[in-house]
A and B are shown apart, each in its own frame.
Chain A
Amino acid sequence: QVQLQESGPGLVKSSETLSLTCTVSGGSISSYYWSWIRQPPGEGLEWIGYIYYSGNTFYNPSLKSRVTISVDTSKNQFSLKLRSVTAADTAVYYCARSGRSSPRWFDPWGQGSLVTVSS
């Protein structure tokens, strides 16, 4: 079955760029939408954005000015960059598959990657 695994630094300095990669195994990244979702400690879920395997993207309007999601089909990976981070960006970041014909659900999810923004 398809499995997702996030990777990247667990500590990022304030004002710098957070970078994470999600590696998809057990299946192809093609023909699906793929999302990033985050969860601040003790809080709920916030969708960051999605990318279609062809490269089309759609972002949360509240984060759009700072976010870039990209895909590398040759490596079966997609990535997240969040610029100019602050303490408010401290969260567990999840990657998830988002549907085939449209991004209607999230399944499966990666285990999550805690990113702490330090001053």
Chain B
Amino acid sequence: QSVLTQPPSVSAAPGQKVTISCSGSSSNIGKNYVSWYQQVPGTAPKLLIYDNDERPSGIPDRFSGSKSGTSATLGITGLQTGDEANYYCGTWDSSLSANWVFGGGTKLTVL
């Protein structure tokens, strides 16, 4: 059971928009920066969003991040078949057992 909750799967058609939610608590998302990672099966994860809503150089502006309270959201517009992957959110948890935590991951299917 992950500390951060993500939907197991989402799907949408090419060209459409999809959002992936990441729900946490006041000790993690509510207090710290969130980052998002894309992992195509068989490859290493890649950073998509850091500090809640910042994109590293080279990441298209089709990818966006936001945070409100104890939840964060990854948005992907203009879906492409190459976007099919698993997506993970992550943040620091400042509870007594301080720890970096990831969501369980969301499988994106582009129909």
Are B44 and A47 within 8 A (Cβ)?
A: no
B105: which A residues are within 8 A, CB to CB? 44-45
The answer to whether B33 has its CB under 8 Å from any CB of chain A is yes
Over the window 14-58 of chain A, the binary record of Cβ atoms lying under 8 Å from chain B Cβ atoms (1 yes, 0 no) is 000000000000000000000100000000111100100000001
Q: A45-B90, A47-B99, A107-B56 are in contact. Are A112 and B51 (CB under 8 A)?
A: no
A103: which B residues are within 8 A, CB to CB? 92, 100
Are B35 and A104 within 8 A (Cβ)?
A: yes
What is the size category of the interface that chain B forms with chain A? 20 to 34
A46: which B residues are within 8 A, CB to CB? 102
B50: which A residues are within 8 A, CB to CB? 104-105, 107
What is the size category of the interface that chain A forms with chain B? 20 to 34
Q: A45-B90, A109-B44 are in contact. Are A104 and B102 (CB under 8 A)?
A: no
Q: Is the interface of A mostly helix, strand, loop or mixed?
A: loop
B102: which A residues are within 8 A, CB to CB? 44-47
Over the window 42-83 of chain A, the binary record of Cβ atoms lying under 8 Å from chain B Cβ atoms (1 yes, 0 no) is 001111001000000010111000000000000000000000
Measured CA separation A107–B100 after assembly (Å): 15
Are A60 and B99 within 8 A (Cβ)?
A: yes
Are A105 and B35 within 8 A (Cβ)?
A: yes
> Contact residues of B with A, CB < 8 Å?
2, 32-33, 35, 37, 43-47, 50-51, 56, 88, 90, 92, 97-105
